[in-house]
């Protein structure tokens, strides 16, 4: 029992990342009808926003400290982050410690801007081209983005720690009446899951309860009619693209402490996220979220040693296997709409 709970928990954080990326992918697909292969790159750029922000915070200048002497008796030169000058040492330290959550604020405008530029500058010109062309051009864009990041940040993963408060692990076992230390779970992963839940909820609420969201949903259902009603649907779809980019970026920011950002993390997630979208059903937002969590949890179940004993290697292929089975038995995925991508 405890092993099962542990695997469900383990699946949640990966599932959250899948769900967030897949949500953005589906949002773009549902609104603009574009298959965006560069979405993984947006996730990666989000993670590097966190890296950049924590680097910016620790920018420092050298101050000569007269109270300390080095071994020759000269005054010691100390590197002092600029942030100490503004906020004093204790607040400065706290801000540096909380760099990752704070970079959310830094990340949102950047990601929305990148989304706008991508949509207006490139993807706009591909609405009338075949899906294969869209896949190919965004695939090329993904290569370019990841190589640019590699040029500036190097090829090695950059560790980006979570705030000190979340460093430990939470003992679920003790709470639920199992033996102690059987089900422990890092705090940050809990935070990630909660964060993902909030973001997903916010996106759904935005689409469901605002006038803007209503127009967007109407546009997803019938773009032409909405246009005939005198609504500039293109503008709204561009904004949705920005939001989808921001969702992917936020997923990346918060994922940075779980997995040190490197330039190819986006591609690694992209392939799986596509599988997630297809399993959930192209164009279905709840489907993408459901499939994301489902596949994340399935993956972590498959890596249990009890399962690996009689099905060796199943953890490596389970997602693909499930995808193949779903695609062949339920052609529209779990919750797919009729008539999407069925040319």
| 341 is an interface residue for another protein by CB under 8 A | yes
Distance CA 19, CA 6 (A): 20
CB nearer another protein, residue 13 or residue 299 = 299
Within 146-165, the residues that bind another protein by CB under 8 A are 147-148, 151
What six digits make up the tokens of 250? 């936020």
Is 193 in contact with 12 (CB distance < 8 Å)?
A: yes
Whether the Cβ atoms of residue 111 and residue 53 lie closer than 8 Å to each other: no
Exactly one of 95, 141, 184, 298 binds another protein (CB under 8 A); which one? 141
Instruction: Give the C-alpha separation, 11 to 292, whole Å.
Output: 10
Query: Which among 88-96, 173-181, 199-207, 271-279 is the span making contact with another protein, rule CB under 8 A?
Result: 271-279
Q: Based on CB atoms, which residue is closest to another protein, 33 or 213?
A: 33
Give the nearest distance from C-beta 41 to another protein in angstroms.
11
Q: How far apart are CA 140 and CA 82, in angstroms?
A: 39
Q: Is 120 in the site for another protein (CB under 8 A)?
A: no
CB 129 within 8 A of CB 224: no
Q: Which of 61, 69, 120, 131 binds another protein (CB under 8 A)?
A: 131
Q: Are 238 and 120 in contact (CB under 8 A)?
A: yes
| Choice between 61 and 125, CB closer to another protein | 125
Scanning 135-143, 199-207, 210-218, 296-304 for contacts with another protein by CB under 8 A, the matching segment is: 135-143
Q: Which of the ranges 109-117, 184-192, 212-220, 266-274 carries the binding residues for another protein, by CB under 8 A?
A: 266-274
**From the list 117, 175, 221, 324, which residue makes contact with another protein (rule: CB under 8 A)?**
324
User: Residues in the site for another protein, rule: CB under 8 A?
Assistant: 35, 122, 125, 129, 131-133, 135-137, 139-144, 147-148, 151, 267, 271, 274-275, 278, 282, 312-313, 316-317, 320-321, 323-324, 327-328, 331, 341-343
């Amino acid at each position: 029992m405890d092993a099962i709970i542990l695997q469900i928990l383990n699946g949640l954080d990966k599932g959250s990342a899948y769900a967030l990326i897949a949500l953005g992918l589906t949002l773009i697909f549902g609104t603009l009808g574009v298959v965006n292969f560069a979405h993984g790159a947006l996730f990666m750029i989000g993670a590097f926003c966190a890296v950049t922000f924590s680097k910016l915070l620790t920018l420092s200048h050298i101050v000569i400290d007269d109270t300390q002497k080095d071994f020759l008796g000269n005054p010691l030169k100390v590197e002092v982050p600029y942030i100490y000058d503004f906020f004093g040492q204790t607040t400065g330290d706290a801000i540096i410690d909380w760099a990752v959550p704070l970079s959310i604020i830094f990340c949102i405008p950047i990601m929305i801007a990148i989304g706008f530029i991508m949509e207006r500058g490139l993807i706009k010109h591909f609405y009338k081209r075949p899906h294969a062309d869209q896949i190919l051009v965004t695939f090329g864009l993904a290569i370019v983005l990841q190589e640019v990041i590699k040029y500036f940040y190097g090829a090695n993963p950059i560790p980006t720690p979570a705030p000190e408060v979340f460093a430990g692990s939470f003992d679920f076992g003790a709470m639920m009446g199992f033996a102690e230390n059987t089900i422990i779970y890092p705090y940050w992963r809990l935070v990630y899951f909660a964060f993902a839940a909030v973001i997903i909820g916010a996106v759904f609420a935005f689409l469901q309860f605002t006038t803007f969201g209503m127009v967007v949903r109407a546009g997803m259902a019938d773009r032409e009619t909405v246009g005939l009603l005198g609504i500039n649907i293109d503008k709204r779809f561009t904004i949705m693209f920005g939001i989808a980019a921001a969702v992917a970026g936020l997923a990346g920011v918060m994922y940075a402490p779980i997995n040190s950002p490197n330039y190819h993390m986006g591609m690694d997630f992209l392939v799986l996220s596509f599988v997630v979208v297809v399993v959930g059903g192209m164009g279905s937002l709840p489907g993408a979220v459901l499939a994301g969590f489902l596949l994340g949890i399935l993956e972590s179940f498959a890596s249990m040693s009890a399962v690996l004993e009689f099905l060796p290697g199943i953890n490596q292929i389970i997602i693909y296997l499930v995808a193949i089975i779903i695609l062949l038995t339920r052609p529209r995925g779990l919750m797919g709409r009729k008539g999407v991508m069925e040319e």
